[in-house]
Amino acid sequence: MSGIERVKCLIIGSGPAGYTAAIYAARANMSPVLYQGLQPGGQLTTTNEVENFPGYPSGITGPEMMIELQKQAERFNTDVRSGWVSKVDFTGPVHKVWVDETTEIHADTIIISTGASAKYLGLESEQHYLKIGGGVSACAVCDGFFYRGQETVIVGAGDSACEEAHYLSKLCTKVTMLVRRDEFRASKIMANRVKNTENIEILYNTETEEVLGDGNGVTGVKVKNNVTGETKEIPATGFFVAIGHKPNTDIFKGWLDMDETGYIINKPGSSKTNIDGVFVSGDAADHVYRQAITAAGTGCMAALDAERYLAAKEG
């Protein structure tokens, strides 16, 4: 067991939210320590092209953007470390955190930017094309643009699936929506919106058997009707999964207020949680927008809130 380390500002997570928080905290002389977590760079590291982040007129890949953000944070002396936070204790005024179950850190302020993970079906073919960036995505708003004038398939039955299908319908010639049961989980208004969109075809009682491709990219989807057992192939160049996200917040359960899915609840108009000195940013709290730019914005808010909290304590 190594000794206890005391830090002014501890940032947990390393996506756009964590790195932006680090940039602001470092420039405010808070000497932040940032732990990158299990997926350094977060969800963006699974995104090939980022074309909607302001300031990159030619676009940039997700991994490259994360490297640049890390360099920018380190330029102002952020201590970026690999490792994941395995346990926390927020009982007292000093916030205790354990990293990799060994290092104990006592932090005056903590910024949580652990993000969320998209849920996937877990099919081998799906994971193959996801890893090579060949046509599988969990974000239509991020990636739909690349499928203009093409045919796509989307899996899901909730509000966000309907929203993403409708978004894709404006770009794609045809969108096939796969709904596992015989009805939508979505609200009536959202379900009706897709039902009334001409180029969206809805297949009920339908599950994905396999994502088909030529090795480099998706060419279609093999589906099965779970009532009749009938299978068929749907031609498509894009396969979108909209079956939800899981926020990476399990270690904070019992300490921080969360909604039923596990998203941390922040006080409206701020990044404050129910524990003084603990702030949240990015997709760990945001299930609505889930964009790199909004995550970065809340990372900035969290650093400013942490700085004001420290100033009030010291003052």
Residues tagged active-site: 139, 142-143
Q: Which of 117, 118, 114, 139 is nearest to 281 (CA)?
A: 114
- With tokens 């969109």, the residue in question is 197
CA distance 20 to 161: 29
Tell me if 12 sits within 8 A of 112, measured CB to CB: yes
Percentages helix, strand, coil for the chain (3-state, rounded to 5) are 30, 30, 40
Count CB neighbours of 118 within 10 A.
Answer: 18
- Helix H, strand E, coil C: the string for 83-118 is CCEEEEECCCCCEEEEECCCEEEEEEEEEECCCEEE
Paired tokens of 137: 């995505």
